[in-house]
């Protein structure tokens, strides 16, 4: 009897733990500390390219969802200069993205990448415009 209760409690607990956060929540928790999710007001405070710019570049290189998701999943765990599809100036300005190994699981990344592909960049977004361009060139 005791064992049965313990078992039931364990199952109940596990299902709470397994109540999966959505892709959106995961992006907010795991990515937005560095990649701002809105159009930034002050470019000088950024520590990484804004998410809308990142996703615009990802989709320019990988328009197909499966490929875009595969790229994001790989890059977040194993970033490298060779794989990067963003403007090289971004890496000069911010440094290479630190690997998120240990912060995010491959399963979470699947949801994150899929949600990002479906929601970013927001409709009508055509790049950061002069603000980003100036920021990229101010140190040269």
Interacting residues toward ligand HEC by CB under 6 A = 30-31, 33-35, 48-49, 54, 58, 72, 75-76, 79, 84-86, 90-91, 94-98, 100, 104, 112
Can you tell me the distance from the alpha carbon of 46 to that of 41, in angstroms, rounded to the nearest whole number? 10
Least separation in angstroms between CB 126 and ligand HEC = 18
Least separation in angstroms between CB 6 and ligand HEC = 36
99-125: buried (b, 16+ CB within 10 Å) or exposed (e) per residue?
ebeeebeeebbbbbbbbbbebbbeeee
Helix (H) or strand (E) holding 93: helix 88-94
Q: Which is nearer to ligand HEC, 8 or 133 (CB)?
A: 133
Decide if 51 contacts 31 (C-beta within 8 A).
yes
Q: Which is nearer to ligand HEC, 102 or 129 (CB)?
A: 102
Q: Which is nearer to ligand HEC, 83 or 134 (CB)?
A: 83
């Amino acid at each position: 009897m005791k064992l049965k209760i313990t078992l039931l409690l364990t199952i109940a607990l596990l299902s709470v733990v397994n109540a999966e956060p959505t892709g959106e929540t995961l992006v907010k928790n795991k990515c937005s500390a560095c990649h701002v999710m809105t159009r930034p007001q002050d470019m000088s405070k950024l520590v990484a390219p804004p998410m809308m710019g990142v996703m615009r570049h990802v989709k320019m290189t990988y328009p197909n969802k499966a490929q875009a998701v595969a790229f994001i999943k790989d890059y977040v765990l194993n970033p490298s200069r060779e794989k990067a599809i963003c403007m090289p100036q971004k890496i000069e300005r911010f440094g290479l993205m630190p690997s998120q190994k240990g912060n995010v699981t491959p399963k979470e990344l699947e949801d994150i990448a899929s949600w990002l592909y479906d929601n970013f960049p927001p409709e009508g977004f055509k790049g950061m415009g002069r603000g980003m361009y100036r920021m990229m060139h101010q140190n040269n």
